[in-house]
Amino acid sequence: MSDAETADRAAGEAGASDRRREQRGWYFYDFACSVYSTSVLTVFVGPYLTSVAKAAADADGFVHPLGIPVRAGSVFAYAVSVSVVLAVLVMPLAGAAADRTGRKKPLLAVAAYLGAAATAGMFFLDGDRYLLGAFLLIVANASLAVSMVLYNAYLPQIAAPEERDAVSSRGWAFGYTSGALVLVLDLVLYTGHESFGLSESEAVRICLASAGLWWGAFTLVPLRRLRDRRVAPGGEGAVGSGWRQLLATLRDMRRHPLTLSFLLAYLVYNDGVQTVISQASIYGSEELGLEQTTLITAVLLVQVLAIAGALGMGRLARTYGAKRTILGSLALWTLILAAGYFLPAGAPVWFYALAAAIGLVLGGSQALSRSLFSHLVPRGKEAEYFSAYEMSDRGLSWLGPLVFGLAYQLTGSYRDAIISLVIFFALGFILLARVPVRRAVAAAGNPVPDRI
């Protein structure tokens, strides 16, 4: 081997080592922020904020923010909807600013620590402070969405095309691992709160606040290991150019109609996924009459099985391709939600069975959607395109919670709304099946993997 070949090989090995180091750091943001999604959004804040709102309600069960009569049981769903609308306004600006300046990491830090601080502030949510709870939920949820734009935009930069399904799946697996670990600790604290000298309310508030502390602490790992890539300097401020870049991004995306077709499909089926995540605890506690301990252990089961599901579906994607694997998961989601409609009240065993099925498809469908989209992004436009992806991830996710909120507002029953989610998964399946992903990858100017 010549000296030049030896030098090239050494440089390649060094580059691969640096890439693996960044990948390991990247996984840890999922490890940091997923605790919010599981402990806070999925388990504790929905039922607890609802109980706080009910404490502030009038004799008819209504609260009156800004003089508007709102049934107390709808406050959580409406707050989630408002947080998504706020995120939709900010995400494109964050993505455009990151691509223009090349400084994803400082923006990621701001979004992550704003969300972590709002989550930690939920310790002060007690009595009848439902407006404080709604405000903190809106800030935390919107901050998470913005941070995920920046986090996801690193994927095409730290992983080669043939690596992305595996790297994305490992990220989700890291997230589910942290979610499961913290839920075990939460379960110990919540079920044994009396032995710790705590009231039930204090135990819940500690669980909420500790998720914020966890989020902030482990965010330090990706901030140390990820690196920003230089871009050509521009002449305008990031905010002013951000709006212009947003319009340019929307115009540019019209040149990639197949990428837009995938985003439309993802927007539809992911609305079902996000609504299940955010409303599961409300459905279990209010409609099925299950205890908080049952909800915690059910979500813990989801976390454990989602780790295996994310990794297992990543392996399936290597054999059958990401698109076919996602389509299979959507068929399973449809069956799961149809079964969920008929769940009997007060029957934890059936709720656990449904949670197990959800866990097996949840992580894989999300991880593979992210990695598949990374192949459809034109090079150099990762953050702004992933802001559009995150808008699809979060952007219509206000519709599901809003439907749930309106259904309860009008009927007083959460069960009546769940069947609508089947429509989202079925329609998403049809739209995704129509997307020629190999042509879409080539049209974006990227190499087409052997399996996709």
Q: Which residues contact 250 (CB under 8 A, 6 or more apart)?
A: none
Phi/psi for 413 (5° steps) reads -135, 130
Per-residue confidence (pLDDT) for residue 6, from 0 to 100: 41
Q: Is 352 exposed, middle or buried (0-12, 13-18, 19+ CB in 10 A)?
A: middle
Per-residue confidence (pLDDT) for residue 232, from 0 to 100: 54
CB 390 within 8 A of CB 374: no
Which of 377, 369, 409 shows the shortest CA–CA distance to 393?
A: 369
Treating both helix axes as pointing N-terminal to C-terminal, what angle do 348-374 and 322-341 enclose, rounded to 10 degrees? 150
Radius of gyration of the chain (CA): 22
With tokens 């508007």, the residue in question is 68
Per-residue confidence (pLDDT) for residue 239, from 0 to 100: 43
Tokens at residue 200, please?
Answer: 């039930």
Which of 215, 244, 246 shows the shortest CA–CA distance to 88?
A: 246
Strand partners, 63: 70
With tokens 């830090």, the residue in question is 109
Per-residue confidence (pLDDT) for residue 140, from 0 to 100: 97
How far is 333 from 426, CA to CA, in rounded Å? 9
Note the pTM of the prediction, 2 decimals: 0.73
Per-residue confidence (pLDDT) for residue 11, from 0 to 100: 40
Q: Which residues contact 318 (CB under 8 A, 6 or more apart)?
A: 165, 166, 451
Which of 82, 73, 79 shows the shortest CA–CA distance to 51?
A: 73
Per-residue confidence (pLDDT) for residue 363, from 0 to 100: 74
Strand partners, 85: none
CB 104 within 8 A of CB 153: yes
Per-residue confidence (pLDDT) for residue 26, from 0 to 100: 92
How far is 312 from 169, CA to CA, in rounded Å? 9
Mean pLDDT by 10 residues, the chain (452 residues): 43 62 91 92 89 91 88 86 85 77 88 97 92 96 90 84 78 84 91 93 96 97 87 48 60 83 87 77 81 85 80 85 92 86 86 88 82 84 70 61 71 72 87 92 85 81
Per-residue confidence (pLDDT) for residue 245, from 0 to 100: 59
Cβ neighbours around 371 below 10 Å, total: 26
Per-residue confidence (pLDDT) for residue 432, from 0 to 100: 94
Per-residue confidence (pLDDT) for residue 391, from 0 to 100: 63
